[in-house]
Amino acid sequence: MRGTTILMAIALAVPAAGTIVVLAASGTMALVRGQPLLWPAQQVTLTEAIGMHDTGEIVRQIALGADPNIRYDTWDILKRYQHVSVTPLEAAVATRERYLFEMIVAHGALVTPENARTLHCFAVQEHASDIAAYLADRFPPPASCDGVRLPW
Amino acid sequence: MVRKGTRIDYVRRPYVTMPSLNTRGPQFAAWALGALTAVALAGSVYRMPIQVSDSLEVIQRVIPMPSATAAFVDGLYNSPTMLRPLKEVRTRLLVQAGEAFGGRYHLVFRGYHAIAGAMLIALFVWVCRARSWTDVAALAAALLVLTGMHTFVGLFREAFPVNHYLIVAVSTLATFALAQSRGGWLVDLAAIVLLTSATLSFESGLLVWPVAVAAYAAGLRGISRRGVAVMTLLVVLYAVFRVGYLGKHGAGVGERGTGFGAGALTESEQIARFGNRPSLLYAYNVTMAATSVLLSQPQVGRFTVATAWNNGQLPPVFIVQIGSSILMSLVIAWYVLTRGPSASKRWREPAVLTFFAVLAVSALMSYAYAKDEIMSTAGVFYAVVAYTAVRGLLALRPPTWVGALLVLLAMVASSAWAVRSAGLHLRLRHGAFEARAEWAYILSPLGKDNWPKDPHVLQVVSRMRQEALLQPTITPALLPRWTEEWWGED
């Protein structure tokens, strides 16, 4: 076998075999441990999932016991390079997506006269007019947002 | 056993490169590479939730049916354009298997998909028949071509609930393997069964027939003349049954959107531009479908590279995809246009002739609209012919400077295809994300009116939903930007 043939075979085989081995290791981990080595699922909080419109993750976390009525830390999603602590409903208001708001309510988040005022004022501030209308249909809109403590 | 010195021996091993005295080592290495590729693929495919769109509706429809026969009959009549009765039967059998496993539908549906993928890889290794260490090097590169082709993603990213394009790809490759065999009536019978099952699963299953015909024309006698004749008769009967008896019609202009040039045409735009002369649109779709396999552009009928260029930036994904395809297609072109050591015409070799037959028929099937999945079987045979061409390249005895250039190009091409192959898994992660997201809207507390009325159906869907939603997946928004630049937008 000539040197050129050997070198060409090595040039073809080394990147190929290396890639195949790495991908196989990743696939094995996916089958055995449930998570691949390459591009595994990232850990996110419930409000981060809401901020990224990840409906599957939202329902998954609530199904696994996440409380839709408490605050969660949210990093670099609702506010660029900032930690914010918000409830799932506030996170939904920040996305301005009514379907997310309704989905979280349907999965157990409570809209009460107490938090409706905050949510309404926050929706007005964030220009989430659909969600503001949703809240206005259920609770009288507050006359003023003075003194209401908003997430930001 | 190979009958040495006969025509059959010649066409089976048309281009013997570096014959090894002991072929066990290379054969073991070839199967090991295939097994590793299959495990990699299975890991990504199995972790995808069962799909909702175009899938859950089929599952819900077949559950109340009294028998598999009823599902088959339903598949004969439930569409004016589609004839896919075995799709319904297969779905019903998988649901029943899921119930037999105690409601583990994910295991059954996704396991079936993963196993079918492993079968495709095994058949690929089988038909390549690596017997020397240089063959193994060629096979390693060809496995990357197989899994890195943009058409390959379509075999695994979606399932309806079974991916029928994958069934067609497996059936065609199995038919080619049968054609390479020693033959006999059992082989003929197996080829006929493959044609029947593939065709009744999906229209593209007709591709089994050109594979058998091209392999026979190229000199493979595993499937006998009688077998090919029966298969031809079955294709005619299928056409008569489909069109004459069931009255099903094919797609026409404006039945669905399609890529055109650097953009896309909606249904109404197609009718406005090509309603009076559909042949122009058909010609574009056919030629571009074939081109896409050879050059990785256009994709879904669109020259996405032109759009990127016009936007002022050309991400690496285009350079990797188009560059690797051009390199490999040039190697194939060199191989096809030259003669073998015994002055034989290489274009008449089984792998080459079969590839061109599959490419041509697949392109013709794309006449009405562009869809990468329709070309997926052609993509599989592209990888087979790439293996053959690379083997031929490794057998060259070039001058030193040409050899150095070839070594460099081999390294570049293999690396580029490696990048593409890794991209398959990223796309499958995206697919998993999308499939799981769809389940968030199924059995939603907001729409109880839309829940299935049948308690059995409700139970199955509820269990599937639970299994799907509990699958952890990536969140594409959190992926680094370079993944998009190297593997493209999703």
- Beta carbons of B87 and B94 less than 8 angstroms apart: no
* pLDDT over 80 at A151, yes or no: yes
Query: Is the domain of A2 the same as that of A50?
Result: no
* pLDDT over 50 at A34, yes or no: yes
A vs B, Cβ pairs < 8 A, gives 186
B475: chain A residues, CB-CB within 8 Å: 41-42, 44, 49, 52, 54, 57
pLDDT, average across residues A112-124:
94
Closest-CA distance, B410 to chain A, in angstroms, reads 5
Half-sphere exposure of A120 toward its Cβ, with a 13 Å CA cutoff?
A: 21
A147 located within any domain = no
Quote the pLDDT of residue B341.
83
Quote the pLDDT of residue B418.
98
How many domains, in total, are found in chain A? 2
A113 located within any domain = yes
Phi, psi of A112 (to 5 degrees): -115, 165
For the stretch B235-243, contacts whose Cβ atoms lie closer than 8 Å and that sit 24 or more positions apart, written own/partner, are B235/B195, B235/B199, B235/B206, B235/B209, B238/B199, B238/B206, B242/B83
A28 located within any domain = yes
Query: Is the domain of A35 the same as that of A106?
Result: no
| Angle value at C-alpha B360, between B354 and B363, nearest 5 degrees | 135
Query: Is the domain of A27 the same as that of A68?
Result: no
What residues pair up with B264 in beta bridges, in sequence order? B259
B105 Cβ neighbours under 8 A, 6+ residues apart: B50, B94, B95, B98, B460, B463, B464, B467
Closest-CA distance, A23 to chain B, in angstroms, reads 5
Is A20 within 8 Å of B143 when comparing Cβ atoms?
Answer: yes
Closest-CA distance, B401 to chain A, in angstroms, reads 10
Residue of B nearest to A65 (CA): B470
Query: Is the domain of A22 the same as that of A56?
Result: no
Quote the pLDDT of residue B6.
42
Q: How far apart are CA B191 and CA A132, in angstroms?
A: 64
B394: chain A residues, CB-CB within 8 Å: 5, 8-9, 12
Is B39 within 8 Å of A107 when comparing Cβ atoms?
Answer: no
Quote the pLDDT of residue B224.
98
Report the 10 Å Cβ neighbour count for B249: 10
Amino acid A104 reads: I
Mutation for testing the A interface, residue in B415, B417, B424 having most A CBs under 10 Å: B415
Query: Is the domain of A115 the same as that of A79?
Result: yes
Give the CATH number for residue A71: 1.25.40
Query: Is the domain of A37 the same as that of A50?
Result: no
Which pLDDT tens digits describe chain B residue by residue (490 residues)?
A: 444 444 444 344 444 445 555 789 999 999 999 999 999 999 999 999 999 999 999 999 999 999 999 999 999 998 888 999 999 999 999 999 999 999 999 999 999 999 999 999 999 999 999 999 999 999 999 999 999 999 999 999 999 999 999 999 999 999 999 999 999 999 999 999 999 999 999 999 999 999 999 999 999 999 999 999 999 999 999 999 999 999 988 888 888 899 999 999 999 999 999 989 999 999 999 999 999 999 999 999 999 999 999 998 899 999 999 999 999 999 999 999 999 888 889 999 999 999 999 999 999 999 999 999 999 999 999 999 999 999 999 999 888 899 999 999 999 999 999 999 999 999 999 999 999 999 999 999 888 899 999 999 999 999 999 999 999 999 999 999 999 999 997 7
> Domain extents for chain B?
21-487
A152 located within any domain = no
Residue of A nearest to B401 (CA): A4
Query: Is the domain of A37 the same as that of A51?
Result: no
Half-sphere exposure of B314 toward its Cβ, with a 13 Å CA cutoff?
A: 11
A151 located within any domain = no
Quote the pLDDT of residue B253.
87
Query: Is the domain of A99 the same as that of A119?
Result: yes
* Among the listed residues B239, B167, B220, the one whose alpha carbon sits nearest the alpha carbon of residue B7: B220
Q: Give the predicted TM-score (pTM) of the model.
A: 0.93
A111 located within any domain = yes
Quote the pLDDT of residue B20.
53
Quote the pLDDT of residue B342.
84
Quote the pLDDT of residue B8.
42
Closest-CA distance, B431 to chain A, in angstroms, reads 12
Quote the pLDDT of residue B120.
98
Query: Is the domain of A51 the same as that of A113?
Result: yes
Query: Is the domain of A79 the same as that of A131?
Result: yes
Mutation for testing the A interface, residue in B52, B115, B121, B394 having most A CBs under 10 Å: B394
- Beta carbons of A43 and B476 less than 8 angstroms apart: no
Is B475 within 8 Å of A57 when comparing Cβ atoms?
Answer: yes
- Beta carbons of B203 and B168 less than 8 angstroms apart: no
Q: How far apart are CA A117 and CA A102, in angstroms?
A: 17
Q: How far apart are CA B8 and CA B183, in angstroms?
A: 11
Which range of residues forms the domain containing residue A4? 1-41
Mutation for testing the B interface, residue in A10, A35, A39 having most B CBs under 10 Å: A39
Is B425 within 8 Å of A10 when comparing Cβ atoms?
Answer: no
Q: How far apart are CA A133 and CA B66, in angstroms?
A: 49
Quote the pLDDT of residue B12.
47
**What is the ipTM, given to two decimal places?**
0.93
Query: Is the domain of A23 the same as that of A53?
Result: no
Tell me which residue has tokens 């085989």.
A13
